[in-house]
Chain A
């Protein structure tokens, strides 16, 4: 087995990952003419096995490799990889920098949130309790909104008691006035919503009953 082409032929069929085989492979990768020879050997086998398409394009691999040459190499640059390895291996870097960076980001976000949302939600309040006060304002605004028909007013006092219990939006449902108002909302919603396309409800059959 002296000829390079004979070694190439054996490499295609019987590669054993020996030092000798790897030397033949090294030569193949350096020599484009050897690669074309290998391509023709492969084509012979494909034709014998009927593994070819109906049309053979001899310059196909060249076309692909022209595009591959424009692709970045799969291995990163040695300098960049070295720098990355140094950073990853540095215990001090990961131990100190990451928590500090995290705290800095969190503090920045918190500052931006406080400084931008504070004046909007509680323009006259400078005591720092704008969140609770804005919730209270929302509840009072909600109960004071008129319902289109059969409006029922809920006193701000009952909303305040709900707030004091720690459940800002869980209003006492069992009170008759609240039940009536919720029921009115529900009936109005069903009459005005688009949930029943093209069908006009003939009777009011939906209601709210906290006892059930």
Chain B
């Protein structure tokens, strides 16, 4: 709910000429978009190129976005179409399967055909994920519960407050402290 409202506000600011607002949208949705594109495009380097094209197209079309759908639905549609066009243009293997844009996020097919020949990046990715999971394991129980309910279960602050039987301010604080602790471990890998 809050995230959706933030998207609307960011879109409005982009439409008013604020490019930094688009930077926030890219940072928010980059992983999801690349993940979606990778369902269609098997080569990892091409995945990021297609994801990049997706964001450029989204920026150019942003003035036409009227908010009839959620921003991420609109963005995912652009990503799916860009990936399909990429496959058609390159005349590579056309998908023998049909994936609806609504289901594409959950589609797990064709993984065996993905390019696995980027050991440095794979190592970095594995290290990032391992660091995050290890940092979560080290968290005190109340922080771990709060961040898990928020990120994994998608509960709102009000709902987490109900589940954990604490004030909403405490929920905010616990989620922040959990993120901050994980971030302290993660940051050196990304700089």
Question: Which A positions have Cβ atoms within 8 angstroms of B?
Answer: 1, 3, 5-6, 9-17, 22, 25, 28-30, 35, 37-49, 51-58, 60-61, 63-65, 67-69, 71, 73-75
Give the docked Cα–Cα distance between A49 and B133 (Å).
Answer: 11
Question: Is B16 located at the chain interface by the 8 A CB criterion?
Answer: yes
Q: Does the CB pair A56–B31 fall under 8 Å?
A: yes
Q: Does the CB pair A17–B35 fall under 8 Å?
A: no
What's the A-B contact tally at a CB cutoff of 8 Å? 177
- Cross-chain contact of B35 among A5, A53, A68 (Cβ < 8 A): A53
**What per-residue 1/0 map shows which CB atoms of B41-73 lie under 8 Å from chain A?**
000100110011001100110110000000000
Question: Is B173 located at the chain interface by the 8 A CB criterion?
Answer: yes
State the main secondary structure of chain B at its contact with A.
helix
- Cross-chain contact of A67 among B10, B17, B47, B56 (Cβ < 8 A): B56
Select the residue from A49, A58, A63, A74 with max chain B CB neighbours within 10 A. Answer: A74
- Give chain B's interface residue range (CB within 8 Å of chain A): 35 or more
**Cβ-closest chain B residue relative to A74:** B63
Task: Name 5 A/B residue pairs within 8 A (Cβ), A-sorted.
Answer: A10-B157, A42-B27, A45-B151, A54-B38, A71-B56
Q: Does the CB pair A54–B114 fall under 8 Å?
A: yes
Q: For the complex of A and B, list the 5 residue pairs with the smallest distance between their C-beta atoms, beginning with the closest.
A: A75-B17, A15-B6, A39-B27, A14-B2, A9-B176
Q: Given known contacts A53-B47, A74-B63, is B186 in contact with A44 (CB within 8 Å)?
A: yes
Q: Does the CB pair B148–A48 fall under 8 Å?
A: yes
Q: Does the CB pair A55–B44 fall under 8 Å?
A: yes
Q: Which residues of B contact A45 (CB under 8 A)?
A: 150-151
Q: Separation in Å of the A34 CB from the closest CB of chain B?
A: 10
**Cβ-closest chain A residue relative to B135:** A44
State the main secondary structure of chain A at its contact with B.
helix
Q: Which residues of B contact A1 (CB under 8 A)?
A: 169, 172-173
Q: Which residues of B contact A43 (CB under 8 A)?
A: 31, 128, 132, 186
**What per-residue 1/0 map shows which CB atoms of B166-191 lie under 8 Å from chain A?**
00010011011001101100110010
**Cβ-closest chain A residue relative to B172:** A10
**What per-residue 1/0 map shows which CB atoms of B108-150 lie under 8 Å from chain A?**
0000001010100110110011001100100000000001101
Q: Given known contacts A1-B172, A6-B172, A74-B15, is B9 in contact with A64 (CB within 8 Å)?
A: no
- Cross-chain contact of A60 among B5, B34, B62 (Cβ < 8 A): B34
Q: Does the CB pair A73–B2 fall under 8 Å?
A: no
Q: Does the CB pair B118–A55 fall under 8 Å?
A: yes
Q: Separation in Å of the B61 CB from the closest CB of chain A?
A: 10
Question: Is B14 located at the chain interface by the 8 A CB criterion?
Answer: yes
Q: Which residues of B contact A46 (CB under 8 A)?
A: 31-32
Q: What 4 new A-B contacts, CB under 8 Å, besides A14-B2, A43-B31, A44-B179?
A: A52-B125, A53-B44, A74-B17, A74-B59
Give the docked Cα–Cα distance between A53 and B51 (Å).
Answer: 11
Q: Separation in Å of the B58 CB from the closest CB of chain A?
A: 10
Q: Given known contacts A13-B150, A35-B20, A68-B22, is B9 in contact with A74 (CB within 8 Å)?
A: no
Q: Separation in Å of the A32 CB from the closest CB of chain B?
A: 8
